[in-house]
Homo-oligomer: A and B are copies of this chain.
Amino acid sequence: MGEGSTRDRILTAGEALFAEVGFEGATLRRLTTTAEVNLAAVHYHFGNKEGLFRAVLERRLAPINAERLRRLDLLESRSASPSLEEVVEAFVGPMLSVQQDPRAVAFVRRLLGRICTDQGGEWIPHFLAQFSGVKERFAVAFQRALPALSPAEVAWRMHFSLGATAHAIADETRIAALSDGLCDPRDSETLLAELVRFITGGLRAPQREERS
């Protein structure tokens, strides 16, 4: 932890610590100790603890959402109607594979899942703001791939897909216990393949029958 500027060391250590113990569980003293940085440096560079957290979030979320849009652009430039599997993979894949940095993976797998489930906190609007552009683009893409569904049903199923993804990505131990060792949570490739298959299946489920 002795490389990079002070600011970068704080960001990196904060990312790891927030991912490990969450926002409230993280301590600036523990953070500055592992980062080999003075305690006051956090407030100098980021204002306060929450400012640091927002900076940590943005550093990783921006590339993920950019990659999502890039892949969707690519799909739509190739075909007027991309397949559902392609759209799902463009949405889910970047969370698992944007960065080769293992620290980024740790962030996504632990912190992002935690954020998605956290109710309180003032950073959720800040988090959704970056996500909003992505949401609309993919809502349109999903609706096109699933013309039989109503917009409300598309929204519900995107919601469920997000949940399955967040849970699967955040998990590092439960799937092993659930499967009695059959499934390896670190096998990102299998995880992505199974997750995409599950989500596409759920999205393609027959629509609600209208009582006529």
Contacts and interface: CB of A to CB of B under 8 A. Distances in A.
A123 interface: no
A124 B25 CA distance: 17
A66 interface: no
Nearest to A115: B117
Contacts of A13: none
Contact of A168 (B120, B159, B175, B195): B159
A128 interface: yes
A1 interface: no
Given A151-B179, A164-B164, A167-B167, A198 B156 contact: yes
B170 A156 contact: no
Interface in A9-66: 20-22, 24-25
Interface in A155-212: 155-168, 170-175, 177-180, 182-183, 191, 193-195, 197-206, 208
Contacts of A160: 164, 167-168, 194-195, 198-199
A174 B113 CA distance: 14
A106 to B, nearest CB: 11
Contacts of A144: none
Contacts of A170: 117, 119
A158 B182 CA distance: 13
A160 B193 CA distance: 12
A38 to B, nearest CB: 25
